Structure 1
Amino acid sequence: MNDSNKRFPLGRSAFLGSTRTLLSAGLMALFALPAFADANTLLQEFVDKTRTLQGRFVQTVHDRKGRVTQESNGEFAISRPGKFRWVYAAPYSQLIVGDGKKVWIHDADLEQVTVRKFDSAVGSSPAALLAGSNEIGKHFNLKDAGTLQGLSWLDATPMNEEGTFSRVRMGFDGSDLQVMELQDNFGQTTRLRFTGLRLNPKLGNDLFRFKPPKGADVISQD
Protein backbone atom coordinates (compact mmCIF):
# COMPACT_ATOMS: atom_id res chain seq x y z
CA MET A 1 0.00 0.00 0.00
CA ASN A 2 1.45 3.38 -0.97
CA ASP A 3 1.59 6.44 1.29
CA SER A 4 -1.41 8.13 -0.32
CA ASN A 5 -3.65 5.14 0.40
CA LYS A 6 -2.50 5.11 4.00
CA ARG A 7 -3.31 8.77 4.27
CA PHE A 8 -6.79 8.54 2.81
CA PRO A 9 -8.07 5.00 3.37
CA LEU A 10 -11.59 6.23 2.77
CA GLY A 11 -11.04 9.81 1.72
CA ARG A 12 -10.30 8.85 -1.85
CA SER A 13 -12.52 5.83 -1.80
CA ALA A 14 -15.43 7.89 -0.63
CA PHE A 15 -15.03 10.31 -3.47
CA LEU A 16 -14.78 7.64 -6.12
CA GLY A 17 -16.70 4.82 -4.54
CA SER A 18 -15.36 1.50 -5.73
CA THR A 19 -12.64 3.32 -7.65
CA ARG A 20 -12.26 6.41 -5.54
CA THR A 21 -15.20 8.67 -6.21
CA LEU A 22 -16.93 10.49 -3.54
CA LEU A 23 -19.12 12.74 -5.40
CA SER A 24 -22.61 12.08 -5.63
CA ALA A 25 -25.34 10.84 -3.74
CA GLY A 26 -26.12 13.47 -1.47
CA LEU A 27 -26.12 17.10 -2.22
CA MET A 28 -29.46 16.84 -3.58
CA ALA A 29 -31.91 18.44 -1.37
CA LEU A 30 -30.99 21.95 -0.72
CA PHE A 31 -33.33 23.21 -3.32
CA ALA A 32 -36.84 24.56 -3.01
CA LEU A 33 -38.67 21.25 -3.33
CA PRO A 34 -42.21 20.49 -2.17
CA ALA A 35 -42.45 19.98 1.59
CA PHE A 36 -44.40 16.75 1.09
CA ALA A 37 -41.79 15.16 -1.17
CA ASP A 38 -40.21 11.94 0.07
CA ALA A 39 -36.48 11.30 -0.20
CA ASN A 40 -36.81 9.51 -3.55
CA THR A 41 -38.58 12.54 -5.00
CA LEU A 42 -35.92 14.88 -3.61
CA LEU A 43 -33.19 12.92 -5.35
CA GLN A 44 -34.99 12.86 -8.68
CA GLU A 45 -35.72 16.58 -8.43
CA PHE A 46 -32.04 17.20 -7.84
CA VAL A 47 -31.02 15.15 -10.86
CA ASP A 48 -33.58 16.85 -13.10
CA LYS A 49 -32.85 20.43 -12.02
CA THR A 50 -29.16 20.56 -11.21
CA ARG A 51 -26.75 21.61 -13.93
CA THR A 52 -23.92 22.81 -11.68
CA LEU A 53 -23.27 22.72 -7.94
CA GLN A 54 -20.61 24.21 -5.69
CA GLY A 55 -19.92 24.18 -1.95
CA ARG A 56 -17.75 23.08 0.96
CA PHE A 57 -17.59 19.88 2.99
CA VAL A 58 -16.29 18.39 6.22
CA GLN A 59 -15.53 14.68 5.97
CA THR A 60 -15.07 12.26 8.88
CA VAL A 61 -14.27 8.55 8.78
CA HIS A 62 -15.70 6.34 11.54
CA ASP A 63 -14.68 2.79 12.48
CA ARG A 64 -17.05 -0.05 13.36
CA LYS A 65 -17.50 1.36 16.86
CA GLY A 66 -18.31 4.83 15.61
CA ARG A 67 -14.97 6.34 16.61
CA VAL A 68 -13.60 9.09 14.36
CA THR A 69 -10.36 7.89 12.79
CA GLN A 70 -9.88 10.63 10.21
CA GLU A 71 -11.13 14.15 9.49
CA SER A 72 -10.65 16.36 6.45
CA ASN A 73 -12.29 19.31 4.73
CA GLY A 74 -12.34 21.14 1.46
CA GLU A 75 -14.51 22.31 -1.41
CA PHE A 76 -16.04 20.94 -4.59
CA ALA A 77 -17.63 21.92 -7.89
CA ILE A 78 -19.80 19.82 -10.20
CA SER A 79 -21.04 20.29 -13.75
CA ARG A 80 -23.45 17.61 -14.90
CA PRO A 81 -23.10 15.31 -16.62
CA GLY A 82 -19.70 13.94 -15.88
CA LYS A 83 -17.54 16.83 -14.68
CA PHE A 84 -16.39 17.43 -11.12
CA ARG A 85 -13.60 18.92 -9.04
CA TRP A 86 -13.04 17.79 -5.44
CA VAL A 87 -10.36 19.55 -3.40
CA TYR A 88 -9.11 18.34 -0.02
CA ALA A 89 -7.55 21.32 1.75
CA ALA A 90 -6.70 19.78 5.14
CA PRO A 91 -5.04 17.91 6.70
CA TYR A 92 -3.37 17.07 3.36
CA SER A 93 -3.74 18.63 -0.06
CA GLN A 94 -5.34 16.42 -2.70
CA LEU A 95 -7.14 17.23 -5.96
CA ILE A 96 -9.59 14.96 -7.81
CA VAL A 97 -10.85 16.05 -11.23
CA GLY A 98 -13.30 14.35 -13.58
CA ASP A 99 -13.43 15.81 -17.09
CA GLY A 100 -16.04 13.44 -18.52
CA LYS A 101 -13.41 11.20 -20.12
CA LYS A 102 -10.89 10.62 -17.35
CA VAL A 103 -10.61 10.94 -13.59
CA TRP A 104 -7.37 12.41 -12.22
CA ILE A 105 -6.14 12.22 -8.61
CA HIS A 106 -3.22 14.47 -7.73
CA ASP A 107 -1.25 14.16 -4.48
CA ALA A 108 0.98 17.24 -4.65
CA ASP A 109 3.31 16.41 -1.77
CA LEU A 110 3.87 12.91 -3.15
CA GLU A 111 4.32 14.27 -6.68
CA GLN A 112 1.98 11.55 -7.88
CA VAL A 113 -0.98 11.52 -10.28
CA THR A 114 -3.35 8.59 -10.72
CA VAL A 115 -5.60 8.48 -13.79
CA ARG A 116 -8.49 6.23 -14.83
CA LYS A 117 -11.05 6.19 -17.61
CA PHE A 118 -14.17 8.01 -16.45
CA ASP A 119 -16.67 5.18 -16.98
CA SER A 120 -14.63 2.62 -15.09
CA ALA A 121 -13.83 5.10 -12.31
CA VAL A 122 -17.41 6.24 -11.72
CA GLY A 123 -19.64 3.32 -12.72
CA SER A 124 -21.94 2.50 -9.80
CA SER A 125 -20.08 4.70 -7.35
CA PRO A 126 -21.66 7.50 -5.33
CA ALA A 127 -20.36 9.88 -7.99
CA ALA A 128 -22.86 8.54 -10.48
CA LEU A 129 -25.72 9.93 -8.40
CA LEU A 130 -24.42 13.48 -8.37
CA ALA A 131 -22.35 14.01 -11.50
CA GLY A 132 -23.63 11.21 -13.71
CA SER A 133 -26.55 10.92 -16.08
CA ASN A 134 -30.24 10.94 -15.14
CA GLU A 135 -30.50 7.14 -15.36
CA ILE A 136 -30.01 6.50 -11.64
CA GLY A 137 -32.16 3.37 -11.64
CA LYS A 138 -29.63 1.54 -13.81
CA HIS A 139 -27.00 1.59 -11.06
CA PHE A 140 -28.79 1.94 -7.71
CA ASN A 141 -31.71 0.53 -5.78
CA LEU A 142 -33.35 3.50 -4.03
CA LYS A 143 -35.39 3.31 -0.85
CA ASP A 144 -36.97 5.93 1.38
CA ALA A 145 -35.50 5.14 4.82
CA GLY A 146 -37.87 7.21 6.95
CA THR A 147 -36.83 9.75 9.56
CA LEU A 148 -34.17 9.63 12.26
CA GLN A 149 -32.95 12.40 14.56
CA GLY A 150 -34.99 14.98 12.70
CA LEU A 151 -33.70 14.08 9.22
CA SER A 152 -35.42 12.32 6.30
CA TRP A 153 -33.19 9.57 4.92
CA LEU A 154 -32.74 7.94 1.52
CA ASP A 155 -30.81 4.70 1.03
CA ALA A 156 -29.07 4.09 -2.32
CA THR A 157 -27.69 0.57 -2.71
CA PRO A 158 -25.33 -0.06 -5.66
CA MET A 159 -26.47 -2.87 -7.94
CA ASN A 160 -22.83 -3.73 -8.54
CA GLU A 161 -21.94 -5.73 -5.44
CA GLU A 162 -18.22 -5.70 -6.25
CA GLY A 163 -17.79 -2.05 -5.35
CA THR A 164 -16.19 -0.63 -2.21
CA PHE A 165 -19.43 0.79 -0.82
CA SER A 166 -22.38 -1.28 0.28
CA ARG A 167 -24.73 1.64 0.91
CA VAL A 168 -25.03 5.39 0.48
CA ARG A 169 -27.33 7.29 2.85
CA MET A 170 -28.53 10.87 2.47
CA GLY A 171 -30.10 12.86 5.28
CA PHE A 172 -32.38 15.82 4.55
CA ASP A 173 -33.79 18.54 6.77
CA GLY A 174 -36.87 19.55 4.83
CA SER A 175 -35.51 20.19 1.35
CA ASP A 176 -31.95 20.84 2.52
CA LEU A 177 -29.32 18.14 2.37
CA GLN A 178 -27.43 17.99 5.66
CA VAL A 179 -25.47 14.74 5.66
CA MET A 180 -24.24 12.03 3.32
CA GLU A 181 -22.97 8.71 4.68
CA LEU A 182 -20.97 6.12 2.72
CA GLN A 183 -20.74 2.67 4.27
CA ASP A 184 -17.96 0.43 3.00
CA ASN A 185 -17.51 -3.33 3.04
CA PHE A 186 -14.99 -3.18 5.89
CA GLY A 187 -17.28 -1.69 8.52
CA GLN A 188 -16.17 1.91 8.11
CA THR A 189 -18.48 4.85 7.48
CA THR A 190 -17.50 8.09 5.77
CA ARG A 191 -19.74 11.00 6.76
CA LEU A 192 -19.92 14.29 4.89
CA ARG A 193 -21.56 17.49 6.07
CA PHE A 194 -22.15 20.16 3.44
CA THR A 195 -22.20 23.93 3.77
CA GLY A 196 -22.38 26.95 1.49
CA LEU A 197 -24.06 25.05 -1.32
CA ARG A 198 -24.81 27.03 -4.49
CA LEU A 199 -27.22 25.64 -7.09
CA ASN A 200 -26.43 26.23 -10.77
CA PRO A 201 -23.63 28.80 -10.44
CA LYS A 202 -21.70 29.69 -13.59
CA LEU A 203 -18.54 27.55 -13.60
CA GLY A 204 -15.68 27.88 -16.05
CA ASN A 205 -14.51 24.84 -18.02
CA ASP A 206 -10.99 25.29 -16.67
CA LEU A 207 -12.18 23.99 -13.29
CA PHE A 208 -12.65 20.56 -14.85
CA ARG A 209 -9.39 20.31 -16.77
CA PHE A 210 -6.23 18.79 -15.41
CA LYS A 211 -2.70 18.59 -16.75
CA PRO A 212 -0.16 16.60 -14.73
CA PRO A 213 2.56 18.90 -13.40
CA LYS A 214 6.08 18.44 -14.64
CA GLY A 215 8.03 15.89 -12.63
CA ALA A 216 4.96 14.08 -11.27
CA ASP A 217 4.74 10.29 -11.54
CA VAL A 218 1.63 9.43 -13.60
CA ILE A 219 0.05 6.06 -12.84
CA SER A 220 -2.65 4.71 -15.15
CA GLN A 221 -5.03 2.18 -13.59
CA ASP A 222 -6.77 1.10 -16.82
Structure 2
Amino acid sequence: MTRTLISAAALVFAGVAAFAQADATADLKQFLSSTHSLQAQFNQTVTGKGKAQNSSGTVAIAIPGKFHWEYQKPYQQLIVGDGQQVWLYDPDLKQATVKDMGNALESSPAAILAGDSGWERNYTLRTLADKDNMTWLEATPKRADSSFEVVRLGFANGQIAQMDLLDKFGQTTQIRFSQITRNPKLDASLFHFTPPKDADVVHQ
Protein backbone atom coordinates (compact mmCIF):
# COMPACT_ATOMS: atom_id res chain seq x y z
CA MET A 1 0.00 0.00 0.00
CA THR A 2 1.35 3.41 -0.88
CA ARG A 3 1.59 6.15 1.70
CA THR A 4 -0.57 8.35 -0.51
CA LEU A 5 -3.40 5.84 -0.30
CA ILE A 6 -3.03 5.54 3.45
CA SER A 7 -3.18 9.34 3.74
CA ALA A 8 -6.21 9.56 1.48
CA ALA A 9 -8.01 7.03 3.61
CA ALA A 10 -7.23 8.98 6.78
CA LEU A 11 -7.15 12.59 5.56
CA VAL A 12 -9.05 12.78 2.33
CA PHE A 13 -9.84 11.58 10.74
CA ALA A 14 -14.31 12.13 16.40
CA GLY A 15 -23.02 8.40 14.59
CA VAL A 16 -35.64 5.02 13.09
CA ALA A 17 -35.58 1.58 12.52
CA ALA A 18 -38.64 -0.68 12.04
CA PHE A 19 -40.37 -2.02 15.12
CA ALA A 20 -38.06 -4.95 15.81
CA GLN A 21 -34.87 -2.99 15.25
CA ALA A 22 -32.96 -0.99 17.84
CA ASP A 23 -32.70 2.77 17.41
CA ALA A 24 -29.19 3.54 16.13
CA THR A 25 -29.81 7.28 16.49
CA ALA A 26 -30.33 6.72 20.20
CA ASP A 27 -27.13 4.64 20.29
CA LEU A 28 -25.20 7.55 18.76
CA LYS A 29 -26.64 10.09 21.21
CA GLN A 30 -25.96 7.81 24.16
CA PHE A 31 -22.42 7.14 22.97
CA LEU A 32 -21.65 10.84 22.51
CA SER A 33 -23.22 11.91 25.80
CA SER A 34 -21.39 9.26 27.83
CA THR A 35 -18.01 9.31 26.07
CA HIS A 36 -15.35 11.89 26.88
CA SER A 37 -12.35 9.87 25.74
CA LEU A 38 -11.70 6.61 23.96
CA GLN A 39 -8.77 4.32 23.23
CA ALA A 40 -8.81 1.37 20.84
CA GLN A 41 -7.05 -0.66 18.20
CA PHE A 42 -8.31 -0.59 14.63
CA ASN A 43 -8.10 -2.53 11.40
CA GLN A 44 -8.77 -0.56 8.22
CA THR A 45 -9.60 -1.83 4.74
CA VAL A 46 -9.83 0.48 1.73
CA THR A 47 -11.59 -0.92 -1.32
CA GLY A 48 -12.19 0.61 -4.71
CA LYS A 49 -10.52 0.01 -8.01
CA GLY A 50 -7.82 -2.60 -7.71
CA LYS A 51 -6.71 -4.68 -4.75
CA ALA A 52 -8.05 -4.04 -1.25
CA GLN A 53 -5.54 -2.29 1.00
CA ASN A 54 -5.25 -3.15 4.67
CA SER A 55 -3.68 -1.30 7.56
CA SER A 56 -3.87 -1.34 11.34
CA GLY A 57 -2.91 0.69 14.35
CA THR A 58 -4.15 2.45 17.47
CA VAL A 59 -6.37 5.43 18.15
CA ALA A 60 -6.91 7.69 21.14
CA ILE A 61 -9.62 10.35 21.19
CA ALA A 62 -10.49 13.16 23.61
CA ILE A 63 -13.81 14.84 22.82
CA PRO A 64 -14.07 17.47 21.53
CA GLY A 65 -11.53 17.77 18.77
CA LYS A 66 -8.43 15.94 19.96
CA PHE A 67 -7.16 12.66 18.55
CA HIS A 68 -4.06 10.53 18.03
CA TRP A 69 -4.44 8.13 15.08
CA GLU A 70 -1.37 5.99 14.53
CA TYR A 71 -0.87 3.55 11.66
CA GLN A 72 1.59 0.82 12.59
CA LYS A 73 1.26 -1.58 9.65
CA PRO A 74 2.15 -1.81 6.81
CA TYR A 75 3.75 1.66 7.12
CA GLN A 76 4.14 3.94 10.10
CA GLN A 77 2.18 7.14 9.92
CA LEU A 78 0.85 9.49 12.60
CA ILE A 79 -2.14 11.82 12.57
CA VAL A 80 -2.59 14.17 15.54
CA GLY A 81 -5.37 16.66 16.16
CA ASP A 82 -4.75 19.12 18.99
CA GLY A 83 -8.11 20.90 18.80
CA GLN A 84 -6.84 23.66 16.52
CA GLN A 85 -4.63 21.94 13.96
CA VAL A 86 -4.24 18.50 12.42
CA TRP A 87 -0.76 17.09 11.80
CA LEU A 88 0.07 14.23 9.47
CA TYR A 89 3.59 12.87 9.90
CA ASP A 90 5.34 10.24 7.78
CA PRO A 91 8.58 9.20 9.54
CA ASP A 92 9.97 7.38 6.48
CA LEU A 93 9.53 10.41 4.24
CA LYS A 94 10.41 12.80 7.08
CA GLN A 95 7.50 14.98 6.06
CA ALA A 96 4.88 16.68 8.23
CA THR A 97 1.70 18.23 6.83
CA VAL A 98 -0.41 20.58 8.92
CA LYS A 99 -3.85 22.09 8.34
CA ASP A 100 -6.41 23.97 10.41
CA MET A 101 -8.88 21.78 12.27
CA GLY A 102 -11.79 23.50 10.53
CA ASN A 103 -10.48 22.34 7.17
CA ALA A 104 -9.98 18.77 8.38
CA LEU A 105 -13.07 18.20 10.51
CA GLU A 106 -14.81 15.98 7.99
CA SER A 107 -11.76 14.55 6.29
CA SER A 108 -10.61 12.06 8.92
CA PRO A 109 -12.39 9.19 10.69
CA ALA A 110 -10.79 10.28 13.96
CA ALA A 111 -11.89 13.89 13.45
CA ILE A 112 -15.45 12.73 12.84
CA LEU A 113 -15.50 10.73 16.08
CA ALA A 114 -13.78 13.49 18.04
CA GLY A 115 -16.12 16.21 16.79
CA ASP A 116 -18.83 17.93 18.78
CA SER A 117 -22.33 16.52 19.25
CA GLY A 118 -23.87 18.48 16.35
CA TRP A 119 -24.51 15.41 14.23
CA GLU A 120 -28.12 16.29 13.52
CA ARG A 121 -27.02 19.79 12.52
CA ASN A 122 -24.25 18.62 10.18
CA TYR A 123 -25.67 15.33 8.87
CA THR A 124 -28.93 13.85 7.68
CA LEU A 125 -29.35 10.74 9.83
CA ARG A 126 -31.09 7.51 8.86
CA THR A 127 -31.25 4.25 10.76
CA LEU A 128 -30.45 1.16 8.70
CA ALA A 129 -31.36 -2.49 9.23
CA ASP A 130 -29.39 -4.36 11.86
CA LYS A 131 -26.44 -6.27 10.41
CA ASP A 132 -23.61 -8.41 11.83
CA ASN A 133 -25.08 -8.08 15.34
CA MET A 134 -24.80 -4.30 15.15
CA THR A 135 -27.27 -1.44 14.88
CA TRP A 136 -26.43 0.83 11.97
CA LEU A 137 -26.77 4.54 11.37
CA GLU A 138 -26.18 6.28 8.05
CA ALA A 139 -25.04 9.91 8.15
CA THR A 140 -25.07 11.97 4.96
CA PRO A 141 -23.12 15.26 5.24
CA LYS A 142 -25.16 18.39 4.60
CA ARG A 143 -22.07 20.28 3.43
CA ALA A 144 -21.43 19.96 -0.29
CA ASP A 145 -17.66 20.18 0.25
CA SER A 146 -17.47 17.22 2.64
CA SER A 147 -14.77 14.69 1.80
CA PHE A 148 -17.22 11.82 2.31
CA GLU A 149 -20.47 11.04 0.55
CA VAL A 150 -21.79 8.80 3.33
CA VAL A 151 -20.64 7.74 6.79
CA ARG A 152 -22.11 4.59 8.33
CA LEU A 153 -21.61 3.79 12.01
CA GLY A 154 -22.16 0.36 13.57
CA PHE A 155 -22.86 0.02 17.29
CA ALA A 156 -22.66 -3.12 19.41
CA ASN A 157 -24.13 -2.88 22.90
CA GLY A 158 -24.08 0.90 22.65
CA GLN A 159 -20.38 0.96 21.77
CA ILE A 160 -18.96 2.15 18.46
CA ALA A 161 -17.67 -0.96 16.70
CA GLN A 162 -17.29 -0.07 13.02
CA MET A 163 -17.21 2.88 10.63
CA ASP A 164 -17.75 2.65 6.88
CA LEU A 165 -16.93 5.74 4.83
CA LEU A 166 -17.70 6.21 1.14
CA ASP A 167 -15.70 9.01 -0.44
CA LYS A 168 -16.24 11.00 -3.61
CA PHE A 169 -13.74 8.86 -5.51
CA GLY A 170 -15.82 5.71 -5.09
CA GLN A 171 -13.55 4.24 -2.41
CA THR A 172 -14.96 2.65 0.71
CA THR A 173 -12.98 2.71 3.94
CA GLN A 174 -14.05 0.15 6.53
CA ILE A 175 -12.68 0.56 10.06
CA ARG A 176 -13.26 -2.08 12.72
CA PHE A 177 -12.47 -1.18 16.33
CA SER A 178 -11.33 -3.65 18.99
CA GLN A 179 -10.03 -3.60 22.57
CA ILE A 180 -12.02 -0.44 23.17
CA THR A 181 -11.62 1.43 26.44
CA ARG A 182 -14.15 4.18 27.02
CA ASN A 183 -13.26 7.22 29.12
CA PRO A 184 -9.66 6.31 29.98
CA LYS A 185 -7.35 8.94 31.43
CA LEU A 186 -5.17 9.93 28.47
CA ASP A 187 -1.81 11.67 28.59
CA ALA A 188 -2.16 15.19 27.17
CA SER A 189 1.09 14.68 25.24
CA LEU A 190 -0.77 12.31 22.89
CA PHE A 191 -2.55 15.30 21.38
CA HIS A 192 0.47 17.51 20.76
CA PHE A 193 2.90 17.16 17.90
CA THR A 194 6.18 18.93 17.28
CA PRO A 195 7.79 18.03 13.95
CA PRO A 196 11.38 16.77 14.16
CA LYS A 197 14.03 19.27 13.13
CA ASP A 198 14.91 17.31 10.02
CA ALA A 199 11.29 17.06 8.80
CA ASP A 200 9.92 19.04 5.85
CA VAL A 201 6.77 20.89 6.99
CA VAL A 202 3.97 21.53 4.50
CA HIS A 203 1.14 23.93 5.41
CA GLN A 204 -2.25 23.41 3.78
Q: TM-score scaled by structure 2?
A: 0.89
Query: How far does the alpha carbon of each residue in 1:78-114 deviate from its partner, in whole angstroms, 9 at most, with x for none?
Result: 0111110000001000000000111000000001000
CA–CA separation in structure 1 for the residues paired with 2:200 and 2:113: 30
| Runs of 5+ consecutive residues of structure 1 not aligned to the other structure | 26-35
Partner in structure 2 of residue 197 of structure 1 = 180
1:110 to 87, 93, 98: 93
Structure 2 residue 124 is the aligned partner of structure 1 residue 141: yes
Q: Is the 8 A contact 1:100 1:118 kept in 2?
A: yes
Question: For residues 65-84 of structure 1, what are the structure 2 equivalents within 5 Å?
Answer: 68-84=51-67
1:170 to 150, 153, 166: 153
The letter for the 1-side match of 2:197 is K
2:10 to 11, 15, 25: 15
CA–CA separation in structure 2 for the residues paired with 1:59 and 1:123: 18
Q: The residue matched to 2:170 in structure 1 has which SS?
A: coil
Question: C-alpha displacement at 1:7, in angstroms?
Answer: 2.4
Question: C-alpha displacement at 1:125, in angstroms?
Answer: 5.8
Identical aligned residues as a percent: 44
Partner in structure 2 of residue 51 of structure 1 = 36
Structure 2 residue 144 is the aligned partner of structure 1 residue 161: yes
Query: How far does the alpha carbon of each residue in 1:141-180 deviate from its partner, in whole angstroms, 9 at most, with x for none?
Result: 1110122344321101111122221001112334343321
Question: C-alpha displacement at 1:212, in angstroms?
Answer: 0.5
Aligned length: 199
Question: C-alpha displacement at 1:188, in angstroms?
Answer: 1.3
Partner in structure 1 of residue 84 of structure 2 = 101
Question: C-alpha displacement at 1:123, in angstroms?
Answer: 4.6
Q: Is the 8 A contact 2:154 2:163 kept in 1?
A: yes
Q: Which moved more, 1:91-100 or 1:144-153?
A: 144-153
Q: TM-score scaled by structure 1?
A: 0.82
Q: The residue matched to 1:137 in structure 2 has which SS?
A: helix
| Runs of 5+ consecutive residues of structure 2 not aligned to the other structure | 16-20
Q: Which moved more, 1:208-217 or 1:135-144?
A: 135-144
Q: Is the 8 A contact 1:129 1:136 kept in 2?
A: no
